Amino acid sequence: MKLAERVSQVTPSITLAIAAKAKAMKTEGIDVCSFSAGEPDFDTPAHIKAACVKALDEGKTKYGPASGEPKLREAIAQKLKRENGLDYKPENVIVTNGGKHSLYNLIIALIESGDEVIIPAPYWLSYPEMVTLAGGTSVIVQTDASNGYKITPQQLRQAITPKTKLFIINSPSNPTGMVYTPEELQALAEVIVEKDILVVSDEIYEKIIYDGAKQVSIGSLGEEIFARTIISNGFAKGYSMTGWRIGYLAGPLELIKATITLQSHSTSNVCTFAQYGAIAALEGEQDCVEEMRQAFAKRREVMYERLNGIPRLSCPKPEGAFYMLPDISKTGLKSLEFSNLLLEKEQVAVIPGIAFGVDNNIRLSYATDMATIEKGMDRLERFIKSATVMKS
Ligand code: GLU
């Protein structure tokens, strides 16, 4: 069969593949410690589930507008104003099938052959793949741990060409866990405005932030940057709603309208009754978010201490999200070999950094229980001290 060229240029999502493999091994009775996909281990809070059940009972089981339930678009617009200082009307919002789908809609609506998209590395693995699917070109800008894995205004300026259309920023970041300060965002915003490009701010981890780090949306830093910003967000991480698949985009009207047209021919509306759960998430009590954040904060301390106590590994302390990206270069192994051997020898599942554009690192998600973290760190330590690694 001759498949379309565009699919042959992309590979399946390795985060999803490794998570599925770890789950399948567990089902077979193998004692796996999985630090693979970034998926909170908490159940969705009860009041959110109750709102969804109520919507089902009330017969909210029909098609809805492709743009999303009006009540949810309104609630999102209010949230963006209240929490992020972004002045959007409900018409500027589209409800999508998750944060990933938000970005996909945006990139397909905006990017075509000849367009360049600037992506700082380490990056979330789906960004460049989406750009490829749209026929565009990713311009990867390498950042490093010494600079907190953050792109500098100089690096951004240097990467911009007449073909640049979009810059992708993700703070708190997957996979580094780093958070840009308001000053750093301001300096990047100045370059974006001066060069007149667009920026998509992926804020999916905004609720998961530590040590007093401040979550600021780049679009809130002035009218000129606001006009060039698109916000991508969703409910998966902050409210532990990964399987619900509800995300959203907010941005300039013309662009949002284009994504609605696209969605009307691809997925139609997001599951109607699920959207009522999302309304409850935004309008209900937020203690559940804080409780989960505090649990992540404790796990972060334990994993950080343990990782840095293992010979040959080092890892900066992340300020947000629920990932650690230790440097494995002193083991002499590259990320894929390291991850495969670790799974085979010690049944610990991690994501090779190569998936995020860095081959000297692995990514561990600590959105899992403390017992798994302790056990997994014991195994990782044994692996590092084992003959396999010592020989290399
Ligand atoms: N975004 C999460 C991760 O990076 C979930 C998996 C995925 O969608 O790639 O692990």
293 and 347 in a single domain? The answer is yes
243 ligand 1 Cβ < 6 A: no
State the distance from the centre of ligand 1 to the C-alpha of 15, rounded, in angstroms. 6
Assess if residue 105 is contained within a domain: yes
Given 256, 283, 310, which residue is the final one in a domain? Answer: 283
pTM of the model: 0.96
270 and 294 in a single domain? The answer is no
Which atom of ligand 1 is found nearest the CA of 38? 10
Pocket test for ligand 1, best of 10, 21, 124 (most atoms within 8 A of CB): 124
20 ligand 1 Cβ < 6 A: no
120 and 9 in a single domain? The answer is no
308 and 254 in a single domain? The answer is no
State the distance from the centre of ligand 1 to the C-alpha of 51, rounded, in angstroms. 26
36 and 172 in a single domain? The answer is no
Assess if residue 391 is contained within a domain: no
100 ligand 1 Cβ < 6 A: yes
Q: What is the pLDDT of residue 343?
A: 94
Assess if residue 38 is contained within a domain: yes
Domain count, the chain: 2
- Kindly give the confidence (pLDDT) of every residue in the chain, 392 residues in length, as a single tens digit, with 9 standing for 90 and above: 899 999 999 988 898 889 898 999 999 999 999 999 899 999 999 999 999 999 999 999 999 999 999 999 999 999 999 999 999 999 999 999 999 999 999 999 999 999 999 999 999 999 999 999 999 999 999 998 988 999 999 999 999 999 999 999 999 999 999 999 999 999 999 999 999 999 999 999 999 999 988 899 999 999 999 999 999 999 999 999 999 999 999 999 999 999 999 999 999 999 999 999 999 999 999 999 999 999 999 999 999 999 999 999 999 999 999 999 999 999 999 999 999 999 999 999 999 999 999 999 999 999 999 999 999 999 999 999 996 676 65
Q: What is the pLDDT of residue 65?
A: 98
By alpha-carbon position, which residue is closest to atom 2 of ligand 1?
Answer: 38
341 and 212 in a single domain? The answer is no
153 and 256 in a single domain? The answer is yes
101 ligand 1 Cβ < 6 A: no
Assess if residue 176 is contained within a domain: yes
Which atom of ligand 1 is found nearest the CA of 242? 5
Which atom of ligand 1 is found nearest the CA of 13? 9
Assess if residue 193 is contained within a domain: yes
Assess if residue 392 is contained within a domain: no
Assess if residue 76 is contained within a domain: yes
Find the distance separating the first CA and the last CA of the chain, reported in whole Å. Answer: 42
Given 215, 250, 283, which residue is the final one in a domain? Answer: 283
Q: What is the pLDDT of residue 73?
A: 98
Write the single-letter amino acid at 368.
Answer: T
Q: Which structural domain range is residue 299 located in?
A: 5-44+287-386
Query: What is the phi/psi pair of residue 236, to 5°?
Result: -60, -50
CB neighbours of residue 305 within 10 Å: 11
Cα-atom radius of gyration of the chain, to the nearest Å? 21
By alpha-carbon position, which residue is closest to atom 9 of ligand 1?
Answer: 15
127 CB-near residues (< 8 Å, 6+ apart): 103, 117, 119, 138, 168
Given 264, 283, 302, which residue is the final one in a domain? Answer: 283
314 and 210 in a single domain? The answer is no
CATH number of the CATH domain containing 138 = 3.40.640.10
CATH number of the CATH domain containing 10 = 3.90.1150.10
State the distance from the centre of ligand 1 to the C-alpha of 99, rounded, in angstroms. 10
By alpha-carbon position, which residue is closest to atom 4 of ligand 1?
Answer: 38
Which atom of ligand 1 is found nearest the CA of 36? 10
State the distance from the centre of ligand 1 to the C-alpha of 78, rounded, in angstroms. 27
226 and 292 in a single domain? The answer is no
Cβ density class 171-208: b for 16+ within 10 Å, e for less: bbbbbbbbbbeeebbbebbbbbbeeebbbbbbbbbbbb
218 and 355 in a single domain? The answer is no
34 ligand 1 Cβ < 6 A: no
29 and 139 in a single domain? The answer is no
State the distance from the centre of ligand 1 to the C-alpha of 36, rounded, in angstroms. 9
120 and 253 in a single domain? The answer is yes
15 ligand 1 Cβ < 6 A: yes
